[in-house]
Structure 1
Amino acid sequence: MVRCIPGYREHSDSMQDKPKVTFYLPPDLHRQLKIRAAVDLEPMSAIAEKALQFYLEHSEVVEEAANAHGSTFRVYHCPDCTSPVVLKHGELASLRHQPNVLQDDANLTVEPTPTTATTSDEELVPC
């Protein structure tokens, strides 16, 4: 089944005076972009243009956010300290009374998440 979205156009007249750029996106990112374009009734190229413009104007914010993930509080093990510490707001803070802090991550196992393949006979297409 093909669903047609009224008012949705892949290329507007203003696109013709812009240079063409080809991107190779991962399938999940491409899927998210297609959904966003359909929901917002906006061409994928316009959304990509906004994202690129934001990145070029605020690349340091994007980099900080990407680097902050997973390393907000890094645990340090000092041989002279009685407990592990973290650097929090420029100060060393003890983790002695933190029950949910793992002392050793060597025994951690990460379970793979199952990928669910969704099959559907519906497809969004530009009109």
Structure 2
Amino acid sequence: MTGQTKSTAALLAILDAFAEVASAGLKELDRLVLVKGQMERRLRRRRKNSSLPALIELVLARPVVSAGCIAAELKISQRAALDLVAELGIREVTGGGATGRGGSCRIARTCSSANPNHAASCH
């Protein structure tokens, strides 16, 4: 192979990788839109001052949040945070159930990116 052929092959490989990553990103975006719609359906017949819409936005913005983080961000108790998590049906990563061990569970949704704006306020 000549130097130009190698460069062209390398450039094509990079472009193929970009296309794959873009495709994966679009699939993830479609999945998140679907999940958001499913969670928002649970908002029907809720009080206007419910914390549930804010919880939906929080869990979509962060791949993993703790009950303490939810409580701090939404300005509610950890018990209320755990009750909202149970109502949304979000999966808990640590096991033990949403009612276990002092509200220190970590709640997860599957996502590959985190919102850096929340990193300082959630621990």
TM value normalised by structure 1:
0.29
Q: Report the structure, 1 or 2, having the larger helix content.
A: 2
Q: Which has the larger radius of gyration?
A: 1
Q: Report the structure, 1 or 2, having the larger strand content.
A: 1
TM value normalised by structure 2:
0.30
